[in-house]
Structure 1
Amino acid sequence: MPATSRRRPATRKGRPVLTRESIAAKALEMAGARGFGSLTMRALAAELGVTVRALYNYVEDRQDVVHLAVDTLLTSWNPPPLHAATWETSVADYAGSLRALYRRWPRALLVSLEEDTPPASVHPNRLLNLDRFLRLLRDVGLDMPAALAAHRQLSLLILSFVLVVDGPADRAGDSPDRAGLVPDAWLAGHADLDIPTLREAAALPLPTPDEQFDELVSAVVDRIRGDLRAG
């Protein structure tokens, strides 16, 4: 949509009016909760309390909305400064910032699976933060292939952790089944199964999600230490 210098009022007759920012925020909220598959122009208009025609005064099409939502997500990703002198802490801080971002809008992470059209451009944070993390690993002594391998491992582990561990834990809240390896109801429903090892394991409480995440980050840090020693 062509840019315009005309400023739109924040409200009209006491009611808020649409902006590209408000559309993006609502679209990301919907995608984060239900996935981008739920994001239709009709559903978005209903969530915003406007007509579909009104949306097209601000966006070109659904793909424009998806792009705005992804941009909004990446705008929110601002890792703390990374320092080679304390690289272990910096790796943990970077991982924590990515986990927090993903955890806020978990189902939006599946955009590459749910959207057929790749984005024509990307928010600068996607490039800047990757560059900063790779530079951290290079500054502590990793060569580029090892730095890329460490980044791949960390990124994939965080993505899967948020979807498999954080997501269910956040939805379960204080449910007693959250603390076990498998829900008690599953085991009770198959009382005749000969699975003594699993039953023994299921009787033990799992570490909290935060404790599990710390273990994950420690494993990546150990890998980096090993690469530094080998180099």
Structure 2
Amino acid sequence: MAADPQRGPKREMSLERIVDAAVQIADADGLGAVSMAAVAARLGYTTMSLYRYVSAKEDLIQLMQEEATGLPPESVREADGWRAGLVTAYRASVQVYLEHPWILDIPITGSPVTPNSAAFMDVMLDALADTPLTEDERLAAVLQVTGQARWYGTILAAYSRQARERGMSPEEISAYEDQLFASLITAEEYPALRRAVDAGVFRSEADPFRFGLDRTLDGIAAYIAERESGAAPVPSATWLEPAPAGVADDKRYREARKAVREAEKALRAARRLERQALTEARQRAARARRDA
């Protein structure tokens, strides 16, 4: 860290000022607008002077994420019970994404290793400390909640960006999407989705993300109840196995995967024709009954 600001009209540069300036740029114009040159210009210094404090842009972005994330609110630890604690942390995480949506553009490279990110995981794990869940199960529950918060933040940030760019309210965007789906989704090709559109799901005020979170927590609560009654932990199986080293680059493997995708595409087309033929057959049968 730099020393205390020196006397004079221009304050001495510091790591904190660099990070604050970078966060302000990202908040206003997105992560893509952040560069060492842009930050230096905002502070009134040369680009090279920043490298005395930050060795690379990647390091700056990590510091920006840490600053924007902040510490989890004390209300998480003060919540009454594990469920309320996880919901409070979920809301706090979503709020971070709303205030700093550019965080969602930072690639995930592994588990959080910065103090504030780790603090969020710590308070959520602590909320589950008095449950009979194993440490693996507690982490799995936390990952479920944080994953849903990130997905919710992604959607909300996208809608907020659309609202700014189009000058539309959230209600107007929902109405536009409803009209778009109603014009593009046919009962012949997408019967289930068409029923949902006709039912007004895109105009509904219900929060599907809160519904998903509540059902996830219901499932965890039911599992905790089973464990409290004496049931043993349920071992988790791995569903997806990564391809062995070198397989993904194998020519025959790539050709086989391409053939599978083409077969799946042909199957979807055949099912679409089947649905169209069924619809036409029903229409002919209905006309025959009317003419009889």
| TM-score of Structure 1 vs Structure 2, range by shorter chain | 0.7 to 0.9
Deviation at 1:38, TM superposition (A): 3.6
Superposed CA deviations along residues 81-119 of structure 1, whole A, max 9, x for unmatched, are: 425853322221111111111221122133225xx8x89
State which of 155, 158, 161 in structure 2 corresponds to 1:168. 158
State the AA in 1 paired with 2:217: V
Structure 2 partner of 1:91: 86
Give the secondary structure class of the aligned counterpart of 1:139. Answer: coil
Paired AA for residue 198 in structure 2: E
Secondary structure of the residue that 1:142 maps to in structure 2?
Answer: coil
Q: Say if 1:191 and 1:160 are closer, same or farther in 2 by CA, change over 3 A.
A: closer
Number of residue pairs matched by the alignment = 218
Matches within 5 A, 1:99-114: 99-112=94-107
Select the residue among 150, 174, 184 that pairs with 2:141. 150
Q: Which residue of 2 aligns with 1:217?
A: 213
1: distance between equivalents of 2:54 and 2:100? 22
Whichever residue aligns with residue 24 of structure 2, its letter is: E
- Structure 1: runs of 5 or more not aligned: none
Work out whether residues 133 and 224 of structure 2, in 8 Å CA contact, stay in contact via their aligned partners in 1. yes
TM-score normalised by structure 2 residue count: 0.61
Q: Which moved more, 1:22-31 or 1:219-228?
A: 22-31
2:51 pairs with one of 53, 56, 59: 56
Stretches of structure 2 that go unaligned for 5 or more consecutive residues are 228-292
Aligned partner of 1:8 among 1, 5, 8 = 5
Q: Distance in 1 between matches of 2:214 and 2:123?
A: 20
Q: Return the structure number with greater relative CO, CA threshold 8 A, min gap 6.
A: 1
Q: 2:195 aligns to what?
A: 197
Aligned to 2:259: none
15-24 or 29-38: bigger deviation: 29-38
**Counterpart secondary structure, 2:107:** helix
Q: Is the 8 A contact 1:81 1:90 kept in 2?
A: yes
